[in-house]
Amino acid sequence: MLNYVTIDRIFSKLHRDLRGTETNETDVIEWIGEALDFLKVPQVLEERVAIVTVSDYHAEIPDNLHMVTQIARNNSWTKSCACEGACACTTEETVVETATPCDEDPCNTVNPEITLDDWSYTIWTSSELYQRNYTPVRLATGSFFNNLVCKEKDLSLYLTCEDEYTIVGTTCKRLRFNFIEGQVAISYLKNVADEDTGYPLIPENISYITAITYYIKWKLAELFEWAGREGWAGKAEKAEQRWLKYARQAKNQQKMPKTLDEYQNLLEQTHYLIPNHKRYYGYFGNLGKSQTRQFNNFNRV
Is there a domain that residue 289 lies in?
Answer: no
Contact present, 163 and 16 (Cβ < 8 Å): no
pLDDT at residue 105 in the model? 46
Show which of 222, 239, 255 is a domain's final residue: 255
Does 32 map to a domain? yes
Both 29 and 126 in one domain: the answer is no
What is this structure's pTM?
0.61
Spatial distance between the Cα atoms of 97 and 105, rounded to a whole number of angstroms: 12
Q: What is the pLDDT of residues 48-61, one digit of tens each?
A: 888 889 999 999 98
Q: How far are the Cα atoms of 9, 16, 252, 261 from residue 25, in angstroms, in the given order?
A: 13, 15, 30, 42
Are 191 and 202 in contact by the 8 Å Cβ rule? The answer is: no
Please enumerate in sequence order all residues whose Cβ is within 8 A of that of 35, keeping only pairs 6 or more positions apart, or say none: 211, 212, 215, 216, 243
Does the residue 248 lie in any domain? yes
Q: Does a structural domain hold residue 129?
A: yes
Please state, in angstroms and rounded to a whole number, the distance separating the CA atoms of residues 259 and 1. 11
Does the residue 261 lie in any domain?
A: no
- One domain for residues 171 and 202: no
Residue 267 belongs to a domain = no
Residues in the chain with pLDDT < 50?
Answer: 84-106, 108, 112-113, 115-116, 120, 143-145, 153, 157, 280, 283, 298, 300-301
Residue 16 sits in the same domain as residue 35: yes
By residue range, what is the domain housing residue 100? 46-190
Strand partners for 181: 55
Q: Are residues 176 and 235 in the same domain?
A: no
Q: Is residue 96 part of a domain?
A: yes
> Has residue 288 been placed in a domain?
no
- Tally the domains of the chain: 2
Residues 58 and 177 in one domain: yes
Helices (H), the chain: 8-17, 25-39, 121-125, 128-133, 206-226, 232-255, 260-269, 278-281
